[in-house]
Amino acid sequence: MIQNEREIRHAHVLQAVRQMMTAARTAPKGKGIDIIEVAMVTDEDINRLSEKMVSISEETGLKFFLRDAENILQAEALLIIGTRQQVQGLNCGHCGFPTCERKPLAVPCALNTVDVGIAVGSACATAADLRLDTRVMFSAGLAAQQLGMLGDCSCVMAIPVSASSKNPFFDRKPKTA
């Protein structure tokens, strides 16, 4: 049997994103409490995410959302990682308030945000080990959050994934219109 890489690439990328999901799940968590959520976005949901990013650009005037909205259409899949909000009860002050009790509900626990960052780093390291093209995107993460793709999670980040001869997520031109 002969398998041409071009014919099996997509299936390989999807399996690799599943490995990235596992890496995000097994990443260290503050106090050992797992409150992150991880999902893979493919096919029509990538288009839906791109459309939401265009909408956010129109609402905010932020042009990089337009650039990124076009850019994610070149991804074979996106990994999204977010956190449910849960105060960790350490009274560490990293959120800007002296105690967890004095922290307003709308202000996220800093440890929750750190957990997302560590999970993103672990997922990206896995992608690098597998020689996949990626880029961490706040813009696509915010759109996924607003679409409720991870339920009530906040601090959602997205990682578009591709396997091509040139990483489509770098050397991007800014949108002017």
120: left (phi over 0), alpha (psi -120 to 50) or beta: alpha
The answer to whether residue 174 scores a pLDDT higher than 80 is no
CA 89 from chain centre, in angstroms, equals 26
Instruction: Check: CB of residue 145 under 8 Å from CB of residue 154.
Output: yes
Give the mean model confidence (pLDDT) for residues 105-117: 93
User: Burial letters for 73-89: b for 16+ Cβ neighbours within 10 Å, e otherwise?
Assistant: eebbbbbbbbbebebbe
Q: What is this structure's pTM?
A: 0.92
Instruction: Count helices and strands (H / E) in the chain.
Output: 5, 4
Give the mean model confidence (pLDDT) for residues 64-68: 95
The torsion of the CA quartet 50, 74, 141, 63, rounded to 10 degrees, works out to -60
pLDDT of 118-145, one tens digit each?
999 999 999 999 999 999 999 999 999 9
pLDDT of 10-50, one tens digit each?
999 999 999 999 999 999 998 899 999 999 999 999 999 99
Going along the chain from its start, the domains and CATH numbers come out as 5-162 (3.40.109.10)
Nearest to 29 by CA among 109, 90, 100, 115: 115
Measure the CA–CA gap between 61 and 177, rounded to whole angstroms: 10
